[in-house]
Amino acid sequence: MSGLASVLALALLPAAGNFAGGLLAEWTRPSPRALNWALHAASGIVIAIVAVELIPRSLDNLSGWWVGTAFAAGGALYLAAESAIERLLGSAATRMGMIYLAVAVDLLSDGLMIGSGGAVSMSLALTLAAGQVLADVPEGYAAVANFRDKGVGRGRRIALSASFAIPIVGAALASFFLLRDAPPAAKFSVLALVSGLLTVAAVEDMLEEAHESAGDTRRSIVAFVGGFTLFTFVTAGLGD
């Protein structure tokens, strides 16, 4: 399989995970407590992706100054995207619209991560895609659960859930084409930038949504730690 086809296939995995989470929310009656636990687990997985894969690889190839600068740029990019969303929707924005755009932006960052990872090595792209599958299932579950709570019809909910494949596949292919012949410094700088974007998204989007759905309990902490541990084990298994 060519590099392009591999990146496309890997980008479709998290999109499928997100859609599967949405279908799970269709078939069951999501409880606020279950949503809280699922989002804590997803946050733990995202933090693990950054801490176990992206930052260590960046530090192996770039100075700490470059990694820190790129990480800060990722955080700034998140703030810029959030500001653009608020300006686009204005004060009349519905909660559903904000949720949809937040998930779409998060999936776009997933695609950027997989595409830039594939430009470094396909083994890294596989590991990142596997981690995102685990994280995107509860994210898809949360999105459709919120759509359902806002009274959106089933057909429209399924269409919205399926449309999340567009940003992740588009970003993966674009970043792969732009970075596959780029110098190593550019590739690892992008990984560090994505680390900043993902970290802010996990803390500000996923955990905030978890806290809004239900109050935290000890099981919420267990879910967060479990998500981090699960991705670490997946990384170890794929590495072996």
Geometric angle at alpha carbon 26, from 198 and 110, rounded to 5°: 20
Q: 3-class DSSP state for residue 177?
A: helix
Positive or negative CA dihedral for 20, 24, 27, 32? negative
Low-confidence stretches of the chain (pLDDT beneath 50): 91-94
Q: What is the reported pTM?
A: 0.78
Q: Locate 171 and state its tokens.
A: 């970003």
| Percentage of the chain lying above the pLDDT 70 cut | 89
Name the amino acid, one letter, at 71.
F
Confidence (pLDDT) at 70? 94
Query: Which of 135, 136, 137, 140 is CA-nearest to residue 227?
Result: 135
Confidence (pLDDT) at 2? 60
Q: Locate 93 and state its tokens.
A: 């924005």
Confidence (pLDDT) at 91? 46
Q: Locate 74 and state its tokens.
A: 């990722």
Each domain of the chain, given as residue ranges in start order, spans 3-239
User: 196 near 73, Cβ under 8 Å?
Assistant: yes
Name the amino acid, one letter, at 42.
A
